[in-house]
Amino acid sequence: MPTNSTLTAPDYTTADLSAWGFALGSNRDKHGVLYSKDRKTLIWGVRATGRYEIAPTVIKIKNGAFCESAIVELIIPPGVKRIPEWVCKDCVSLRHVEIPHGALVIRRQAFEGCKSLSKIVIPAGVKSVQCRAFSGCDALRTVDIPHGCQAEIGAFPWGCRLMTPEEGAAYRQQQVVEKYGNPEVETVGMALQGNP
């Protein structure tokens, strides 16, 4: 390569990734999401919209894979142990993310700027939520976080309430009682399971 040549980063929002050396064709699903040939790595998903369920064979997601996409819901498979940096950064329509049991870490800025994300459950087993992972998620008010999980300073938006599973159950029960008066025990139990 000549010494005076300039390399530029690929524009992942363009239609033709083949110019950047990505193999296309059978590696892209019907939503335009690009996977590695063995379907163990999700490379690029900026074109995905609405609800998207990542292929169950995936064990790795590249940084920024869905950055600024129009997804509304994202289901991450159980084989993914690390939620990468910028995976859904600035996905302003994203309302729900299912983080798999077995995930160990949520990297920095993973969901930063997802302004519509109003609820997140950090599953047991997650050991670390890194800085700014959920910053700018303005609709996020409470987060269920497991015992032993380390949340770095600035991981969640200012004013967001972090609760252990026990605190979360008690908090939701209090909300049901405040909203509906003094419901029967069965009704409160159903509300705690997400069936108000």
CATH class held by domain 18-163: alpha beta
**Side chain identity at 156, as an amino acid letter?**
F
Q: What are residue 186's DSSP bridge partners?
A: none
**Side chain identity at 68, as an amino acid letter?**
E
Query: Treating both helix axes as pointing N-terminal to C-terminal, what angle do 165-180 and 185-192 enclose, rounded to 10 degrees?
Result: 130
Looking from the CA of 31 toward its CB, the CA atoms found within 13 Å total 20
pLDDT band of 129, cuts 50, 70, 90: very high
Q: Could you state, in order of their start, the residue ranges of all structural domains in the chain?
A: 18-163, 164-196
Residue 22 is predicted with a pLDDT of 52
User: What is the reported pTM?
Assistant: 0.74
pLDDT in tens, 159-172: 888 887 776 666 66
Residue 66 is predicted with a pLDDT of 97
Residue 28 is predicted with a pLDDT of 87
Residue 173 is predicted with a pLDDT of 62
Residue 77 is predicted with a pLDDT of 97
Cα 168 to Cα 7: distance, rounded to the nearest angstrom: 50
Residue 113 is predicted with a pLDDT of 97
Residue 99 is predicted with a pLDDT of 96
